[in-house]
Amino acid sequence: MTDHLKVSVLGADGRMGRAVISALSETAGVKLAAALTHSESADLGKDSVALADAKGEPVVLTDDMMEARKGDVIIDFSAPKASLTVAEAIKNSGVKAIVSGTTGMSADQTEVFHKTCAGLVLLQSGNFSLGVNMLEALVELAANKLREGWDIDVLEMHHRHKVDAPSGTALMLGRAAAKGRNVELESVQKLSREGQTGARPEGEIGFATLRGGGVIGEHSVTIASELEMLTLSHSAFDRSVFAKGAVSAAIWAAKQAPGRYDMKDMLGL
């Protein structure tokens, strides 16, 4: 019998962590190896499987990042500091891959994270939904074809508990638009507008952020000229869509050569 792929989950008692544990319990050939959370979590010492309302043997929540070494792959939906800590903890440990959905990393943190993960498979994405990744490809295509006189804006809404803005998915879509126009997003982005802003510069990519209620994820990209507007959008109805995508990514990542990947690589887009 083939051994199960062992998966450690970082951020295991968060909304996404619980969804990932539930998805693991429903996926053949994979097994939860370790469940990690931060040192101040009220859930430390509890059964992560029970917290996720999932099936399977108990796996106690721990803040010992060395426990992540029990997994062949780590699925990470935590915070930037935790991602950096666990990446350091698994160096030379036999862990094959990290699948990271953590958002909000600064440029400096991202650089350190990538260096620390050298020699591993690192699959990093702002969103693990198949639909969102198809949206990303469409945004890049549309931005490439609709250029002079066409303005691009990214609008996103998430639940009231989300701590980073714009969302990782919104930035992912903005980068896709910038790539379509052969520019760096940082050179053309406008993250907010307030007061007397003046006329909009040609080529600017704008962002607008909404937070409220229990919204799982709403993203739309508008590409507007003076005569017409194209809107590309995606709505998530259940958080499990991201969790199932992350588990599929973990299975795929475990079979790849060391290097950096994203969901487009997995999907062949």
Alpha-carbon gap, residue 156 to 209, rounded angstroms: 5
Residue in the structure block whose two tokens are 């998915």: 169
Task: State whether residue 76 is helix, strand or coil.
Answer: strand
Please tell me the distance from the alpha carbon of residue 4 to that of residue 70, in angstroms, as a whole number.
Answer: 12
User: Catalytic site residue 162?
Assistant: yes
Q: Which of 162, 179, 190, 264 is catalytic?
A: 162
Pairing between β-strand 121-124 and β-strand 189-190 as defined by DSSP bridges:
unpaired
In one letter, which amino acid is 250?
A: A
Instruction: Point out the catalytic residue in the list 96, 158, 219, 234.
Output: 158
Question: What contacts 24+ positions apart, CB below 8 Å, involve 62-68?
Answer: 62/34, 62/35, 62/36, 62/37, 63/36, 63/37, 63/38, 63/39, 64/36, 65/36, 65/89, 67/8, 67/34, 67/36, 68/8, 68/10, 68/34, 68/36, 68/95
Q: Would residue 114 show up in a list of annotated catalytic residues for this protein? A: no
- Look at strands 217-224 and 151-158 and give their pairing: antiparallel
Residue 56 · residue 48 · CB < 8 Å: no
Residues acting as catalytic residues = 158, 162
